Amino acid sequence: MSLTRIEDLQDAVFGSGLEPVQMTNSPVTGSLAFAQYRGMTFTSGHLNGDVALSGPLLDKLITVGVAYDVAPGSWHWMKPVEAGNVGVWHPGDEHDARYRPGSAYAAITLSPEQIETEAERYGMILCQKSLGGTGI
């Protein structure tokens, strides 16, 4: 979907209801895409605007995000981020970020049980506890 207004970014992670704030008077444009597969929800976004996103992520799901294109000056929790950074948010944990124009990301939300199931498919053992705390 094309971003036509700042409120569209409430779904920057599908279903999260984040609080978007437009940081300059330049229009916020870009796109969001969503997909679901085997109980997992995928979101990708490309942002052409200077925006802050904050608030708790999904109450019962873990969110894993990867920044694949990050404009200089972007941050999470007041710490710079760069392309390739991966973030993990446990259910209900706070997201606090600023994205500069040209930033792009992908995120997956899934239940703690689904993480175990998916890891098991590849012969791995992975559980919510082994992910550590919320952070980049």
pLDDT tens readout for residues 60-105: 999 999 999 999 999 999 999 999 999 999 999 999 999 999 999 9
Local structure of 132: helix, strand or coil: coil
| Cα of 3 vs its chain's centroid, Å | 16
**Separation of alpha carbons 123 and 56, rounded Å:** 32
**Assigned token pair, 117:** 């199931």
**Separation of alpha carbons 17 and 39, rounded Å:** 19
Identify whether the C-beta of residue 46 lies closer than 8 Å to the C-beta of residue 9.
no
Q: What is the pTM of this model?
A: 0.90
pLDDT at 136: 64
- Residue-range domain boundaries for the chain: 6-131
pLDDT at 131: 74
pLDDT at 17: 92
CATH number for 6-131: choose from 2.60.120.10, 2.40.110.10, 3.40.50.360, 3.40.190.10. Answer: 2.60.120.10
Q: Hey, what amino acid is at 129? A: K
More confident residue, 95 or 133: 95
Report the chain's mean pLDDT, rounded to a whole number. Answer: 92
**Separation of alpha carbons 92 and 22, rounded Å:** 23
The pLDDT of 111-132, averaged and rounded, is 84
**Separation of alpha carbons 28 and 51, rounded Å:** 8
**Separation of alpha carbons 91 and 112, rounded Å:** 9
State which H helix or E strand residue 43 sits in. strand 40-48
pLDDT digits (tens, 9 = 90+) for 31-40: 999 999 998 9
